A = this chain, B = another copy of it.
């Protein structure tokens, strides 16, 4: 599965809006950074655990299979929301938000089984690595989190020219903590919330564009359409 940054969904065509919203972000650098994947044990042989229900598919990347098996702690052959959330941590060791984990599941659970199989996992893994590169690129001050200015720059580079008011709302919504948290993690937007913020902007913008058929920047919609768009976004 080939995945573009910030453009994980089915829709890859973009309108040339006056505000240029809707463009696809590009790869930033090749190094890994941001989120790390923790491997929590998971069925050591001879330790009372059930044997793996499934072996690697023929031709599977052995390293990728090893990662998959480490995340699949109950050896069911598929990764659940709970297993994925347990495996994903941010650079500051905070866990990914459930909403981000569910967003990742919904993007890559292409057969709608409710879990991530090995083939789906390959796409998910690459997607997270790609976002790590984006995150590293825009975390200019190497703080391990993204601030408002860095978020603005990232979105601008993806083609989303949001107004200062929208950027401020977005930052408030996705910032993990504030400067008032003396003993909390450093202020800023963690990796998982950065990915969610970008995907939310992309999803909402594309949904708006689909309603704005004459491309004048205005839409007419009823309550049902409005709620459907908003509740479908991550």
**Besides the known contacts A81-B177, A165-B224, 6 further A-B residue pairs in the complex with CB atoms under 8 A apart:** A162-B227, A169-B232, A217-B222, A219-B220, A219-B221, A221-B221
Which chain B positions have C-beta within 8 A of A217?
222-223
Are A181 and B223 in contact, with the CB atoms below 8 A?
Answer: no
Which chain B positions have C-beta within 8 A of A226?
204, 208, 219
We find that the number of chain A residues with CB closer than 8 angstroms to chain B is 51
A 210-230 to B, binary, CB cutoff 8 A, 1 in contact else 0: 001000011111111011101
Are A180 and B227 in contact, with the CB atoms below 8 A?
Answer: no
Are B222 and A76 in contact, with the CB atoms below 8 A?
Answer: no
Which chain B positions have C-beta within 8 A of A1?
none
Q: Of B74, B78, B179, B228, which contacts A114 at CB under 8 A? A: B179
Which chain B positions have C-beta within 8 A of A177?
80-82
Distance in Å: Cβ of A4 to nearest Cβ of chain B:
22
Which chain B positions have C-beta within 8 A of A98?
97, 176
Which chain B positions have C-beta within 8 A of A185?
82
This chain: how many copies in the complex?
2
Residue in B closest to A180 when the chains form the complex, CB atoms: B114
Which chain B positions have C-beta within 8 A of A165?
224, 228
Instruction: Give residues 165-181 of A contacting B (CB, 8 Å).
Output: 165-166, 169-170, 173, 176-181
Are B221 and A218 in contact, with the CB atoms below 8 A?
Answer: yes
Residue in B closest to A211 when the chains form the complex, CB atoms: B226
Q: Which of A97, A169, A212 has the most CB of B within 10 A?
A: A169
Which chain B positions have C-beta within 8 A of A176?
98
Interface pairs A-B: 6 shortest CB-CB: A82-B184, A169-B231, A114-B180, A80-B181, A82-B181, A220-B220
Q: Of B19, B115, B220, B233, which contacts A230 at CB under 8 A? A: B233
Are A180 and B115 in contact, with the CB atoms below 8 A?
Answer: yes
**C-alpha spacing A219/B177, complex, angstroms:** 35
Q: Which of A19, A208, A223 has the most CB of B within 10 A?
A: A223
Which chain B positions have C-beta within 8 A of A182?
74, 76, 80
